[in-house]
Structure 1
Amino acid sequence: MTRDFRLIAIGMGFSWLGNAFQTVALAVAVITTGGGARDLGLVMATNILTLLAGTLFGGIWADRLQPQRVMVASDVIRFAATAGIAAMFATGGYHLALLCGLTVVSAAAGSFFNPAMSALKPLLVPAEDRQKANATLSLLQSMCGVAGPATAGITVAAFGATIGFSINAVSFLASMAAVALIRVRAPRGPRASAVHELRAGWFEVRSRNWLFANLLGASTYHVANGVILVLVQMVAFERLGGAHAIGWIAAAEGLGGVIGSAIGMRFRPRRLLFAGLLALPLMSVWAFAYVWPGTLAAVMIGAVIGYAGLLFYDVAWDTSLQENVPHRVLGRVSSWDYMTSFVAMPVGNALAGPLSDRFGTDRVLTACACVLLAASVSMLLVPGCRRLIRTGQPAPDPVHSDPALV
């Protein structure tokens, strides 16, 4: 792999480790200071809504500027916001409004980071190595998901949530330093208006039925996933062992990701996206495990199975985008991907508390697991999703005929 690829791997590795501490610290901090599913769901919904509000603009600037500049600025802002959250809990005060406000700042910066990262990745390696590179980053993320949460669970349980937020803040500085050293430069053309540039990205989405179908299917998927991600934290904390259980389950999810990423590195089917979609329904196994048999061991096994399928799908999806979407519009297409894929998640986050209060946690989790399964299978019904062929070549020229829009 190239020097620039090694740098992005180092930077993202530090960031992913830090995020593992954030995941554990947030749930523990909110619950132990008197909040419940409603507060945790509101914070998570605030995070997702802010990401949605800024992602399309992040895609525009990822295609206008050098993507690593966008990523560096994002890391600086996220460091400051996360350090502020750590300071709030360190002083012994829990203010939901302040937590949501700092979450808005951090998520807004993150909404620019993700499309820029998507635009940068295919520039770091030759076209024929993109699946391997995507799998390598996915494998690294999953390894961090194994080491980070287990360490975070032990650390937060021993020293409190503040240390978790502090470690995450420092990780953003490490990511910033690594990304700032990347030398690759993306070709950039003349700019058009923001509206025209957004339309160009959307036209590229609509012109590919496999891409449009995955975005619609993912929207339905994440309605249920938004509910699940709140309730499983509560179940893990209240029924399965507290902070230690949250950490060990997250580690099992990371182990599943390691397996899925390793498969993505070696398994190179001609119909890569089809293979990824066959693996995605395994996530419903993870959700069902919280209901039956509902033990920590069963949930961890379900997490390994489900996240192996999810991470293999992620490798297949990233590679399909990079091989079939022109780089000049990749940031914008990726931003539409993020926005439409997760548009329903904050609704699920916000509904988690009311639904569980009315119908019971187990019934809601069962229903949402069924939705995950149905949404995953529905994408296989679209011919383009089954027939898309892996090329190992650079992406084609943009579909849109108006150069002002690309």
Structure 2
Amino acid sequence: MTEDLATGAGPRLWSANFRNYFAARTISLLGDIILPIGLIAAVLGEGYGASGVGYALAASLGPTIVLMLFGGALADHFRPKPLLVLADLVRLAAQGWLAVSLLTGSPSLPEILITQAVFGTATALFQPSISGIVPEVAPGRVHEANAALRITESCVTLGGPALAGVLLVVAGPPVVMVFVTATCLISCLLVWTLRLSGGAAAGRPRVLKDIREGWTAFASRPWLWAVICVFVVLGLTVFGPYHVLSATVLTEDRGASAYALLMSAHGAGAIAGGFLALKRMPSRPLLTGALWLALFIPQFLFIALKAPVALVAAAMFAAGVGRSYWAVMWSTSVQTQVPPEVLNRVLAYEITGSMMLVPVGRALSGPVAEAAGSAPVLLASAAVLTLGCLALVAIPAVRGLRPVSPSPAGTS
């Protein structure tokens, strides 16, 4: 049984408010996808080598993970819009500084690391808020909004690296950094136009108390913390190793061009999964989403066993479908089940939990694969993901969660 939310009550999805939000989130995502590609090229071009690349990427991601909870607490106290504008301005300043440094000279490695740490800190303010306002910019249409966002995210993820490659070939890393800076500016201007309700809470923020209240809201929902517990394990053992080992094995076995085409199949599947999730909300969204997520499993087997490329492509397409469908069900459930006054803090716990062991999984996957072989590690990932999907289906709070329609948010 499903609920047809496309014809449900509530204002139309593509209002001016949602269009501006949609454009801001899309252009911001494009900048986030292009940034690491340009950053790697810039660091290598300045002669800082692979170690410099690792330090630069860690400088950007580390503060985001560490400070995400503070970003969620501040967003719930001050309301998201001013924090989003501030975050984009800080990100603009950091990347603008690096772009100017690359255009006019040769920035030192510490200078690059500082700009990326500032960027990562601002991202910790940006991420909870940009997700938390979906119910407000798409009142009564949260499911449709998340499906549309997932489709576009898949398209940007598919096309962003190609755009970055063209910019690098035609103009070089400095112009890539100028482009990233421009995405921050455009996102900031679009966010400024959003009409959001409410103002800052009374009094000064009590960040630690607000974080504890966010934890209470998070921990009081068994379906929520149970899923995150599963994804902490999957981040370490499945999603962390996935990109490293799939890229390594497929490139070594099939060549770089074949790997690019296979990843395109994955991206096309993600777009298809977003469309499949668009019109109907299942009566048990997380149960249905977990069953679709199981489509992510076969690709590990086919890659490890060096199956014919057509089978690998089909499996990677299915993996994109399954992960995208799960993402829509999950985002919609969180944004509609959690009260608006604590949503940003809960989202901060959700993002932090989902991300925190992914870098560890990436770092460990290479040494473990060298010691045990890539195929056993990929097969182990498939086994763990199978157990993870079974766990999601078996947990009563997850299996039994029913959708709710969010109350239309007011605007001002």
What CA distance in whole angstroms lies between the structure 1 residues aligned with 2:328 and 2:274?
A: 7
CA contact (8 A) 1:48 1:342 kept: no
Change (3 A) 1:195 1:47: same
**What corresponds to 1:170 in structure 2?**
182
The secondary structure found in structure 1 opposite 2:286 is helix
What CA distance in whole angstroms lies between the structure 1 residues aligned with 2:389 and 2:117?
A: 30
1:144-182 deviations in Å (ceiling 9; x for gaps): 223323333444456555544432232121111111111
**What corresponds to 2:82 in structure 1?**
69
- TM-superposed CA distance for 1:317, in Å, is 1.0
What CA distance in whole angstroms lies between the structure 2 residues aligned with 1:341 and 1:113?
A: 17
**What corresponds to 1:229 in structure 2?**
243
What CA distance in whole angstroms lies between the structure 2 residues aligned with 1:308 and 1:64?
A: 37
- TM-superposed CA distance for 1:87, in Å, is 5.8
The secondary structure found in structure 2 opposite 1:268 is strand
Amino acid in the other structure paired with 1:185: S
**What corresponds to 2:135 in structure 1?**
122
- TM-superposed CA distance for 1:196, in Å, is 1.8
CA contact (8 A) 2:241 2:365 kept: yes
CA contact (8 A) 1:41 1:350 kept: no
**What corresponds to 1:349 in structure 2?**
362
Q: Bigger shift: 384-393 or 181-190?
A: 181-190
**What corresponds to 2:5 in structure 1?**
none
Q: How does 1:4-403 map to 2 (within 5 A)?
A: 4-26=17-39, 35-36=49-50, 43-84=56-97, 86=99, 99-127=112-140, 129-156=141-168, 159-186=171-198, 188-190=200-202, 193-224=206-237, 225-235=239-249, 241-242=255-256, 248=261, 250-293=263-306, 300-394=313-407
What CA distance in whole angstroms lies between the structure 2 residues aligned with 1:26 and 1:246?
A: 22
CA contact (8 A) 1:253 1:303 kept: yes
CA contact (8 A) 2:273 2:324 kept: yes
1:182-220 deviations in Å (ceiling 9; x for gaps): 122235543562222111111111111100101101111
What CA distance in whole angstroms lies between the structure 2 residues aligned with 1:155 and 1:8?
A: 26
Q: Bigger shift: 324-333 or 137-146?
A: 137-146
CA contact (8 A) 2:78 2:201 kept: no
**What corresponds to 1:402 in structure 2?**
none
Change (3 A) 1:254 1:343: same
1:203-257 deviations in Å (ceiling 9; x for gaps): 1111111001011011111112223333444556666554x66765554443222
Q: Cα RMSD between the aligned structures?
A: 3.2
What CA distance in whole angstroms lies between the structure 1 residues aligned with 2:252 and 2:185?
A: 34
What CA distance in whole angstroms lies between the structure 2 residues aligned with 1:223 and 1:50?
A: 19
**What corresponds to 2:9 in structure 1?**
none
Q: Bigger shift: 298-307 or 191-200?
A: 298-307
Q: How many residues align?
A: 392
Amino acid in the other structure paired with 2:82: R
- TM-superposed CA distance for 1:43, in Å, is 4.8
What CA distance in whole angstroms lies between the structure 1 residues aligned with 2:121 and 2:372?
A: 34
CA contact (8 A) 1:134 1:319 kept: yes
What CA distance in whole angstroms lies between the structure 1 residues aligned with 2:78 and 2:379?
A: 45
What CA distance in whole angstroms lies between the structure 2 residues aligned with 1:301 and 1:358?
A: 30
What CA distance in whole angstroms lies between the structure 2 residues aligned with 1:237 and 1:163?
A: 29
- TM-superposed CA distance for 1:84, in Å, is 4.8
CA contact (8 A) 1:56 1:336 kept: yes
The secondary structure found in structure 1 opposite 2:281 is coil
What CA distance in whole angstroms lies between the structure 2 residues aligned with 1:197 and 1:69?
A: 18
What CA distance in whole angstroms lies between the structure 2 residues aligned with 1:235 and 1:63?
A: 44
- Bigger radius of gyration, 1 or 2? 2
What CA distance in whole angstroms lies between the structure 1 residues aligned with 2:376 and 2:104?
A: 39
Q: Mind listing any 5+ residue stretches in structure 1 that lack a counterpart?
A: 396-406
TM-score (norm 1): 0.84
Q: Mind listing any 5+ residue stretches in structure 2 that lack a counterpart?
A: 1-13
What CA distance in whole angstroms lies between the structure 2 residues aligned with 1:313 and 1:306?
A: 11
Amino acid in the other structure paired with 2:240: G
